[in-house]
Amino acid sequence: MWKWFHQLASPPHFYRISLILAPWLGISGLILVAYGTWQGLFVVPMDYQQGDAFRIIYVHVPSAYLSMMAYMIMATSGAIGLIWRIKLSHAVAAAAAPIGAGFTFLALCTGSIWGRPMWGTWWEWGDPRMMSELILLFLYFGYMALRSSIDDTTKADKASAVLALVGIVNVVIVHFSVEWWSSLHQGQTVFKKGTMDADMRIPLFIMLIGFTLLFGSMLLRRIRTEVLYRERRTRWVREMILSPGGGA
């Protein structure tokens, strides 16, 4: 197990595995998301209170979940890189940031569009759930800005990993904001006390898995790019690129 882990952490080995794995993640994710979207839009019954506006849940919850998931991947791999000095893990952290920012933006937008007809407001300044998710977006921006502002890759890795670790606090706040403070946002449905009919819940789980797989395939591609750039002067990259067929 340990040996396997070390092997995977070696950039050329990871690169090869990722090339094989990424398309499978992408294709299976696409199939699940297509099925879940069809279910969510046309098959699932409408909600007894919200009517058809409830269908927004099938894109809002997966993007909100990924916005936090991506951050945790970014922060933990940054920490692993800081502590054990594994080169690959900093590449993972750098690759996760833009995707996480994208899904955070998506979660904010879909939440706002959903809130307008249901809650009666696009946005509430001071609402803990909304504010902490907005801070999450700024954390991603800050992280990417910090990275691009430091030319030395090693220094950029360290500084950004510390920033990401500190920002974990905000992810915890996003998660518990609906319990700790009075927010317009309702509590947890998916993994907690909330109830949801099985024919509504199952498509949501399918969407969550599908989004995660799509995220995985996008993440792997960006990690490959990051690894390629960081290892651009090594022999394996040179051999791979100059070999017939390359390794895109």
Q: Which of 72, 79, 150, 156 binds other proteins (CB under 8 A)?
A: 79
What binding mask, one character per residue, do residues 102-131 give for other proteins by CB under 8 A, x or -?
xx-xx--xx--xx-xxxxxx--xxxxx--x
Cα 100 to Cα 63, 131, 211, 228: the distances in Å are 9, 17, 12, 21
Residues 139-158 that bind other proteins (CB under 8 A): none
SS3 of 125, please? Answer: coil
**Can residue 243 be called a binding residue for other proteins (CB under 8 A)?**
no
**Can residue 193 be called a binding residue for other proteins (CB under 8 A)?**
yes
Closer CB to other proteins, residue 129 or residue 152?
129
What binding mask, one character per residue, do residues 32-71 give for other proteins by CB under 8 A, x or -?
-----x---xx--xxxxxxxxxxxxx-xx--x--------
What binding mask, one character per residue, do residues 211-230 give for other proteins by CB under 8 A, x or -?
---x---x--xx-xx--xx-
**Can residue 197 be called a binding residue for other proteins (CB under 8 A)?**
yes
Whether the CB-CB separation of 81 and 161 falls below 8 Å is answered with yes
Structure tokens at 47: 């909600």
For residue 51, report the phi and psi dihedrals to the nearest 5 degrees: 60, -140
**Can residue 174 be called a binding residue for other proteins (CB under 8 A)?**
no
Q: Which of 72, 162, 202, 209 binds other proteins (CB under 8 A)?
A: 162
**Can residue 182 be called a binding residue for other proteins (CB under 8 A)?**
yes
Min. distance of Cβ 149 from other proteins in angstroms?
A: 18
The total of other beta-carbon atoms located within 10 Å of residue 235's CB is: 9
Q: How many residues bind other proteins (CB under 8 A)?
A: 82
Q: Whose CA is closest to 62, among 214, 223, 218, 222?
A: 214
**Can residue 191 be called a binding residue for other proteins (CB under 8 A)?**
no
Q: State the DSSP code for 43.
A: I
Min. distance of Cβ 93 from other proteins in angstroms?
A: 14
**Can residue 31 be called a binding residue for other proteins (CB under 8 A)?**
no
**Can residue 27 be called a binding residue for other proteins (CB under 8 A)?**
no
Min. distance of Cβ 147 from other proteins in angstroms?
A: 14
- Rg of the Cα atoms in the chain: 20
Closer CB to other proteins, residue 35 or residue 119?
119
Structure tokens at 190: 């998916």
Residues 22-54 as b/e (b if ≥16 CB within 10 A, e otherwise) read beebbebbeebbeebbebbeeebeebeeeeeeb
111, exposed or middle or buried, with CB in 10 Å at 0-12, 13-18, 19+?
buried
Q: Which of 25, 69, 82, 171 binds other proteins (CB under 8 A)?
A: 82
Cα 103 to Cα 19, 148, 184: the distances in Å are 24, 21, 21
Q: Which of 21, 86, 134, 184 binds other proteins (CB under 8 A)?
A: 184
Whether the CB-CB separation of 159 and 119 falls below 8 Å is answered with no
